[in-house]
Amino acid sequence: MSSSGWHITRKDGGLTLSRRLPARFDVAAETLLPQADPQRLAHQIRQDLWRRLQRLRGFSPVVEITPEGQGLRVRAGGQVLGRVPSNAAGLIADVLENPANRTRWLRHAAPRRDRTCPQTGPKTNNTPGIAAKFDMKSESVS
């Protein structure tokens, strides 16, 4: 278990994010998404899923992401301790198909490109120097 308290199980190129092991789907819905960072995507989906279903007694979210073609198959849902309401799968599907959610998830989980700064090189903490360079150009002489 990671320090965040979530289990990340990797298998066959995919991953499963769950609070409990073994991950169990008492209720679930699926969707397809374009290529993205699976771990970042899983955490974003889990957060929105929890926000929507936190009042469901005994609910523990599970998100499974597997590669499919040029994209990702997402199965989201989770374990429920007790009775599963008949509308639970529909609520999960609403979260997965919400256009605003999907846009935010994909923006957050977009594949990271080159992380080097053209001014200072890779991974430096020299931001005050960069800010000073910008400020010097915008100052006018009186």
The per-residue pLDDT for 110 is: 86
Say if CB 30 and CB 81 are below 8 A apart.
no
The span from the CA of 46 to the CA of 18, in Å, is 9
Give me the residue label for tokens 């994909």. Answer: 106
pLDDT at 89: 93
- Statement: the pTM of the whole predicted model exceeds 0.75: no
Question: What pLDDT sits at residue 103?
Answer: 93
pLDDT of residue 3: 46
- What's residue 131's pLDDT? 52
Structure tokens at 108: 């957050």
**What is the reported pLDDT for 12?**
84
List the chain residues with pLDDT less than 70: 1-4, 112-142
What's the CA gap between 61 and 6, in Å, rounded? 10
| pLDDT digits 0-9 by tens, 57-91 | 889 999 999 999 899 999 999 999 888 888 999 99
